[in-house]
């Protein structure tokens, strides 16, 4: 039998279902590529956060992240650890970060929750920390995402190192302005009193006593508002600083103890690298 005859028989033996499956596969690939372009235009992956992750659908997630190119294992844990420490140092995330080698894990916890990152990229936990860690793991799994190389070993300060409050220069400037306003108001009220008494040559026909009284009271009122604003700002800074110290103490920065709800890093589940 000739070769041309064999080819003809081979073409006849090719089931039409195979051709249909091939056409369907190509159509699905085109749909995925189209959806991937739409996702890249819709989301800013350089600033990808929990809100974006909650908004993204399952179809968009599968299209955006190629499963075969994900980073896993020890490299993923190292990237997650560095990225989280950088976010904590920048005050984007409040958590204490710990790395365990046996078993390989990254643990992030605060006084309001915890998250455990496994080498395969899965995450478990609860609270606000879990919400903050999930997008970090997703981004660190992508080769295109650049993770900071140099990060502080201890991004959280010791409780006693937290300053009482910030913005002292601004508070002093407000105090100076309030003081000038108060002096101006008192001067205008004194001028009105002298005008009524006719002292120092005041109180002539051109003297507007009502203007002096109203203006003086207005300046004094403004000064009192500014003084109250400064006092409230300092009190708020003091409360915020004390609250931050309490949160740092709650996660064990003084005694080294974790909160009771944070689990121990054991390998009871058998999940390894």
Angle between helix 209-250 and 168-197 (nearest 10): 160
Is residue 273 situated within a structural domain?
no
Q: Is the dihedral of CA 231, 233, 238, 242 positive or negative?
A: positive
- Under DSSP, the state recorded for 50 is H
- Does 97 share its domain with 177? no
Task: Kindly state whether residues 93 and 40 are assigned to the same domain.
Answer: no
Please indicate, yes or no, if residue 270 is contained in any of the structural domains. Answer: no
Instruction: Check whether residue 72 and residue 58 sit in a common domain.
Output: no
Note whether residue 105 is domain-resident: yes
Asked if residue 237 and residue 194 are part of one domain, the reply reads yes
With beta carbons less than 8 A apart as the criterion, state whether 147 and 237 touch.
no
| Structure-token pair, residue 255 | 């005694």
Q: What angle do CA 137, 143, 146 make, to 5 degrees?
A: 75
243 belongs to a structural domain: yes
Other CB atoms within 10 Å distance of the CB of residue 37 = 11
Consecutive 10-residue averages of pLDDT for the chain (273 residues) = 47 49 58 75 70 71 64 92 92 90 91 92 91 89 85 83 70 88 90 72 61 88 90 80 84 78 69 49
The b/e string for 240-268 (b: 16+ C-beta within 10 A; e otherwise) is ebeebbebbbbbebeeeebeeebeebeee
Helix (H, G, I), strand (E, B) or coil at 98: strand
Q: Is residue 234 situated within a structural domain?
A: yes
Q: What burial class does residue 65 get, using C-beta atoms within 10 Å of its C-beta: 0-12 exposed, 13-18 middle, 19+ buried?
A: middle
Residue 223 placed within a domain? yes
Give the pLDDT confidence of 11-49 residue by residue, as tens digits: 445 455 544 454 455 666 677 678 777 777 777 766 666
**Do both 78 and 142 map to the same domain?**
yes
In this predicted structure, what is the pLDDT of residue 107?
Answer: 94
The answer to whether the beta carbons of residues 166 and 187 sit under 8 Å apart is no
Q: Give the domain-ending residue among 156, 184, 215.
A: 156
**Could you tell me which residues come within 8 angstroms of residue 75 by beta carbon, excluding any fewer than 6 positions away?**
none
Domain count, the chain: 3
pTM over 0.85: no
Cβ–Cβ < 8 Å for 127, 140: no
Among 6, 38, 62, the domain boundary falls at: 62
Regarding whether 74 and 58 lie in a shared domain, the answer is: no
Residue 6 lies in a domain: no
* Together in a domain, 231 and 219: yes
Q: Is residue 112 assigned to a domain?
A: yes
Residue 84 pLDDT: 94
Report the pLDDT value the prediction gives residue 2, as an integer from 0 to 100. 47
Query: How do residues 149-163 score in pLDDT, each as one tens digit?
Result: 888 888 888 877 777
**Domain range spanning residue 194?**
168-250
**Residue 121 DSSP class:** S
Task: Count Cα neighbours of 149 within 13 Å in the Cβ-side half-sphere.
Answer: 0
CA distance 181 to 117: 58
Helix (H, G, I), strand (E, B) or coil at 124: strand
Q: For the chain, what is the radius of gyration of the CA atoms?
A: 34
Same-domain check for residues 240 and 176: yes
| Residue 203 confidence (pLDDT) | 53
Residues 70 and 58 in one domain: no
- Same domain? For 147 and 175 the reply is no
Q: Choose the final residue of a domain: 132, 156, 180.
A: 156
Based on the fold, state whether residues 49 and 117 are members of the same structural domain. Answer: no
Same domain, 26 and 100: no
């Amino acid at each position: 039998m000739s070769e041309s005859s064999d080819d003809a028989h081979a073409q006849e033996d090719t089931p039409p279902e195979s051709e249909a499956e091939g056409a369907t596969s190509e159509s699905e690939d085109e749909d995925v590529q189209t959806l991937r372009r739409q996702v890249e235009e819709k989301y800013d992956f350089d600033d990808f956060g929990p809100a974006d992750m909650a908004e993204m659908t399952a179809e968009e997630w599968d299209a955006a992240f190629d499963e075969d190119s994900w980073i896993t294992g020890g490299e993923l844990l190292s990237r997650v650890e560095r990225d989280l420490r950088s976010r904590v140092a920048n005050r984007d995330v409040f958590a204490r970060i710990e790395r365990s080698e046996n078993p390989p894990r990254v643990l992030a916890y605060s006084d309001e929750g915890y998250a455990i990152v496994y080498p395969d990229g899965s995450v478990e936990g609860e609270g606000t920390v879990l919400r903050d860690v999930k997008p970090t793991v997703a981004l660190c799994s992508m080769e295109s995402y650049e993770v900071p190389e140099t990060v502080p070993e201890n991004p959280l300060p010791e409780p006693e190192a937290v300053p009482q409050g910030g913005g002292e220069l601004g508070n002093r400037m407000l105090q100076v302005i309030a003081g000038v306003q108060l002096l101006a108001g008192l001067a205008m009220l004194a001028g009105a009193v002298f005008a009524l008494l006719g002292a120092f040559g005041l109180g002539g026909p051109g003297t507007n006593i009502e203007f002096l009284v109203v203006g003086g009271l207005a300046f004094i009122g403004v000064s009192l508002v500014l003084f109250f604003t400064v006092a409230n700002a300092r009190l708020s800074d003091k409360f915020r600083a004390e609250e931050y110290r309490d949160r740092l103490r709650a996660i064990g920065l003084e005694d080294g103890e974790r909160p009771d709800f944070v689990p121990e890093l054991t390998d009871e589940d058998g999940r390894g690298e």
